[in-house]
Amino acid sequence: MKPIRIIRHLPCPHPLPPCALTIGNFDGVHRGHQAMLAKAVQAAEQRSLIPSAMTFEPHPKSYFAKLLGKPEIAPLRINGLRDRIQGLARAGIEQIALLRFNQAMARMSPDAFVRDLLIKQLNVRWLIVGADFRYGHSRAGNTSTLREASEQYDFDFEILQDVRDESGDRVSSSNLRLALACADMSAASNLIGRPYQISGHVLHGQKLGRTLGFPTMNVRVPSNCAIRFGIYVVQVRGLGPNAMPGIASLGVRPTVTNSKDVLLETHLIDANVDAYGKLVEIDILQHVRDEAKFPDLPTLTAAMQQDRQHAVNYFAQNGLQNYAESD
């Protein structure tokens, strides 16, 4: 992957080179997103442009949910920001406009969005969006107004129709959230085109797992994550040349703490690695069971032993999953 430029504030102090742009939230960077990103990369190569993406933080629906005082209607997050950027870079994007979605953005008219952001500041020469794309104040802008704007401001414009899976179902972030909520990792992997992944720096924890004979690597996960809490078979990347097999617990650890902090605690199978402070990528391969509160530590330890054996059996049958990082 080439180095990626992240633009957090517009206008930039220096003019930007002409770009081929796609716009979206890209939560999950699923196969539908990947199809649109691939077209942007191809158009950039053909026209000597910079392949670029515009995305927003927070998610616009989360912004309006907070504004309305209804946080429960905000969409659950498939990816943290690091994984979202990684997914865009993996698709060949070299420049990301990561813009704050705030009151000024919400009130911007459709014409100002195109004229001031896309043309004057990002120097867009080619644009692609999905068929259901909306933009501008009160979502007044759509693909029809973008088509008119492309003629007014002289940039090429394309619309990507829905991408569908082998069953004819639409590939979407909503369907990916549903798969993760059901802990259907096979369906999630099919929608993404690779195993669902959580990345982060390994933190120091309470060391309780070590005293129970199951040392773990702890990675913090957003509390509004889309994936169901539970025990998962995983493989870990970033600690050596090859992935390492493991078993992981995702959740709030109800047996040992009342904290609401969400952690992904991963126990490596037959490996002892000093991972503190390192950035790891954890592929979530299979759901074993839901998170549970046990009456005491011996019962918890017995369940952990069964979970570990489940993972051992899984890898004995399936091995580690290999895939190209440039996919």
pLDDT digits (tens, 9 = 90+) for 160-215: 999 998 889 999 999 999 999 999 999 999 999 999 999 999 998 766 666 766 88
Q: Do 22 and 142 belong together in one domain? A: yes
Question: For 225-277, how does the pLDDT look when each residue is reduced to its tens digit (9 = 90+)?
Answer: 999 999 999 999 999 899 999 999 999 988 877 778 899 999 999 888 888 89
Q: Do 125 and 228 belong together in one domain? A: no
In-domain check, residue 90: yes
In-domain check, residue 180: no
Q: Do 202 and 90 belong together in one domain? A: no
Q: Do 153 and 245 belong together in one domain? A: no
pLDDT value at 327 more than 60: no
Q: In the listed set 144, 160, 176, which residue is the last one of a domain according to the structure?
A: 160
* Class of residue 173 by CB neighbours under 10 A (exposed 0-12, middle 13-18, buried 19+): buried
Q: Do 117 and 226 belong together in one domain? A: no
In-domain check, residue 92: yes
Cβ proximity of 200 and 220 under 8 Å: yes
Average pLDDT for 81-93: 96
Nearest to 201 by CA among 225, 223, 218, 226: 218
pLDDT value at 117 more than 50: yes
Chain centroid to Cα 52, Å, comes to 17
Q: Do 232 and 146 belong together in one domain? A: no
Q: What was the pLDDT predicted at 274?
A: 84
Q: In the listed set 160, 177, 207, which residue is the last one of a domain according to the structure?
A: 160
In-domain check, residue 326: no
Q: Do 246 and 110 belong together in one domain? A: no
Question: For 72-85, how does the pLDDT look when each residue is reduced to its tens digit (9 = 90+)?
Answer: 999 999 999 999 99
Range of the domain at 232: 195-318
Q: Which residues lie closer than 8 Å to 306 by C-beta, 6 or more apart? A: none
pLDDT class of 324 with cuts at 50, 70, 90? low
pLDDT value at 326 more than 60: no
Cβ proximity of 195 and 189 under 8 Å: yes
In-domain check, residue 189: no
How many separate domains does the chain show?
Answer: 2
Q: Tokens 């008219």, residue?
A: 109
Q: Which residues lie closer than 8 Å to 113 by C-beta, 6 or more apart? A: 135, 136, 141
Q: What is the spatial distance between Cα 38 and Cα 17, in angstroms, rounded to a whole number?
A: 20
Q: Do 137 and 40 belong together in one domain? A: yes
Q: Do 146 and 232 belong together in one domain? A: no
Tokens of 260: 């609401």
Tokens of 166: 């082998």
pLDDT value at 313 more than 90: yes
Q: Do 234 and 301 belong together in one domain? A: yes
**The model's pTM:** 0.91
Tokens of 44: 């950039």
Average pLDDT for 316-327: 76
Average pLDDT for 90-116: 97
Q: How many residues does the chain have?
A: 327
Mean pLDDT value across the chain: 93
pLDDT class of 2 with cuts at 50, 70, 90? confident
Q: Do 204 and 116 belong together in one domain? A: no
pLDDT class of 325 with cuts at 50, 70, 90? low
In-domain check, residue 251: yes
Q: What was the pLDDT predicted at 257?
A: 78
CATH of the domain at 263: 2.40.30.30
In-domain check, residue 185: no
In-domain check, residue 177: no
Q: In the listed set 160, 176, 208, which residue is the last one of a domain according to the structure?
A: 160
pLDDT > 90 in the chain, percent: 81
Q: Do 103 and 54 belong together in one domain? A: yes
Question: For 56-73, how does the pLDDT look when each residue is reduced to its tens digit (9 = 90+)?
Answer: 999 999 999 999 999 999
Which has more pLDDT, 320 or 326?
320
**Pairing mode, strands 230-237 and 244-251:** antiparallel
CATH of the domain at 21: 3.40.50.620
